[in-house]
């Protein structure tokens, strides 16, 4: 039985040559960007975890919490648009098909003389 090592070595050299002919190979290992990428789990910055203190929202009873800059704009914007929406909904025109049909039936009956016109128009 002849040694198989030369045969295996020749097969190893043949396999990559057949693959490289069908698929192009990129040999550049240069990074696309010169800066290093930061990952989501990168803990290089300060810790964002607040340990549990036992108080609701971290505010002790009797202390007044500090207002943040966005809170006033959010409150006035939210409740102002809510009030505007309620007023707009209260004064919206009635566009239902039932109302239109009732007015059309009254108009046709008035034209035919079956129903007399109301005096307080």
Average pLDDT over residues 52-77: 90
What does the alpha-carbon distance between residue 77 and residue 85 come to, in Å, rounded to a whole number? 12
This prediction has a pTM of 0.42
3-state secondary structure of 89: helix
What does the alpha-carbon distance between residue 77 and residue 67 come to, in Å, rounded to a whole number? 16
Greater confidence, 56 or 35?
A: 56
What does the alpha-carbon distance between residue 36 and residue 113 come to, in Å, rounded to a whole number? 88
Give the pLDDT score at 81: 99
Give the pLDDT score at 21: 54
- Average pLDDT score over the chain: 80
What does the alpha-carbon distance between residue 111 and residue 115 come to, in Å, rounded to a whole number? 8
Give the pLDDT score at 69: 93
Residue in this structure with the two tokens 């007044």, named with its chain if needed: 64
Give the pLDDT score at 6: 75
Each domain of the chain, given as residue ranges in start order, spans 93-121
Asked whether the predicted pLDDT for residue 93 surpasses 90, the reply is yes
Give the pLDDT score at 106: 93
């Amino acid at each position: 039985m002849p040694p198989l090592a030369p045969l295996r070595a020749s097969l190893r050299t043949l396999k990559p040559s057949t693959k490289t002919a069908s698929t192009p190979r990129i040999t550049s290992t240069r990074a696309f960007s010169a800066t290093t990428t930061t990952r989501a789990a990168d803990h290089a910055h300060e810790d964002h975890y607040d340990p549990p203190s036992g108080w609701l929202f971290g505010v002790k009873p009797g202390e007044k919490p500090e207002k943040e800059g966005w809170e006033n704009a959010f409150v006035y914007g939210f409740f102002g648009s809510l009030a505007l929406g309620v007023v707009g909904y209260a004064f919206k025109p009635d566009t239902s098909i039932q109302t239109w049909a009732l007015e059309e039936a009254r108009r046709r009956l008035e034209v035919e003389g079956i129903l007399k016109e109301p005096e307080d128009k």
